[in-house]
Amino acid sequence: MDKILVFVEAKGDGPRKVSLELLSEGLKLVGSGQFSMEAVFLGKLPGTVKGKILHYTEKLIHVTDPALENYTAEGYAMALAGYARETGAKMILAGATQRARDFLPRVAVLLQTGIASDVTGANWDSNPMTFIRPMYGGRVLAEVSFSAYPAIVTARPNSFGVGASLAQKGEFAEFQAGISPGQVKTSVIKREETTLGKVDLTEADLIVAGGRGLKAAENFRLIEELARTIGATVGATRAVVDAKWRDQADQVGKSGKTVSPKLYMGAGISGAIHHIMGMDTAKVVLAINNDPHAIIFNYANYGIVGDLFEVLPAMTEELRNRLGK
């Protein structure tokens, strides 16, 4: 039976949603009878993560080592590659998060195999399995397969759904990575965490984003009010971040975050390719721009040609009324 490893990541006290999405896909494969699956967690494991993950897997492996106390790409790569070797895994699945993007290519090098990164779809039933990767800002969809194993796949959050949890909890085991002291060449001196207190952009179902058309930092309150009304996360273009109107954590695009929400609302955003590259897999795009020729309309399912200073307050008020807020 071929083994699938799913790299599980925590966010705060809980597991990342994308980890549950991939475990849910893995469970479907387990259901076919040809695969077994293990969830793999590296480093300090929050108890709540353990509790939730055990409902989505037959087995959770907690890989421990002093080198995993603080995240380093080297330490994580050695630990995951070591466990994949130990188990003879045929496939490693992970969310295309900042962390996985950082260390999984190293795992591929250590295991002398390939990696399909940032996939948005998979054909699990084909032989060999194939995976869809958006390229060139989503203008091209490449279909890729593997000729070396384990196949390493990172999937864009929100590309797959979270399925039903298992009636019975999976088992839990620990594995010592056995990384020799000195093997990891970098060390973490200090960590400062910011608590943003909102849904991570990469995992948000609803995003309201603003661009330079807002004209000033204080006008972002129009975006924030609409976002608050519908429970969305705020996004921004790089022009806005460069102008210091918003934090870099809010930036969507090539040099920012890649998002795949159910709904992406963008106001005062021109639709430069560098921005589109970060949001072109949104299921529904609604664009507001006063220029009817703005490129973003080419990518939008719904477009409102109008002044955002009129449209945004009107939408917020209408939605507040409809939602009874």
Positions that interact with ligand FAD (CB under 6 A): 211-213, 237-240, 251-256, 268-270, 272, 274-275, 278, 288-291, 294, 307-309
Choose between 117 and 237: whose C-beta lies nearer to ligand FAD. Answer: 237
Q: Where are the alpha helices (DSSP H) in the chain?
A: 17-31, 47-53, 73-87, 98-110, 220-230, 238-242, 273-276, 308-323
Q: Residue 212 Cβ, how far from ligand FAD at the closest point, in Å?
A: 3
Q: Residue 90 Cβ, how far from ligand FAD at the closest point, in Å?
A: 35
Q: What 8-state DSSP symbol labels residue 60?
A: E
Return the closest-CA partner of residue 54 out of 70, 41, 67, 68.
41
Q: Residue 236 Cβ, how far from ligand FAD at the closest point, in Å?
A: 7
Choose between 110 and 295: whose C-beta lies nearer to ligand FAD. Answer: 295
Choose between 90 and 275: whose C-beta lies nearer to ligand FAD. Answer: 275
Q: Residue 317 Cβ, how far from ligand FAD at the closest point, in Å?
A: 17
Choose between 22 and 294: whose C-beta lies nearer to ligand FAD. Answer: 294
Q: Residue 153 Cβ, how far from ligand FAD at the closest point, in Å?
A: 24
CA dist list (Å): 49 to 28, 64, 95, 174, 204? 21, 15, 16, 15, 19
Distance CA 22, CA 7 (A): 9
Burial 259-272 (b: 16+ CB within 10 A, else e): bbbebbbbbbbbbb
The closest residue (CB) to ligand FAD is 253
Asked if 32 contacts 146 with a C-beta cutoff of 8 angstroms, the reply is no
Choose between 82 and 268: whose C-beta lies nearer to ligand FAD. Answer: 268
Distance CA 62, CA 83 (A): 10
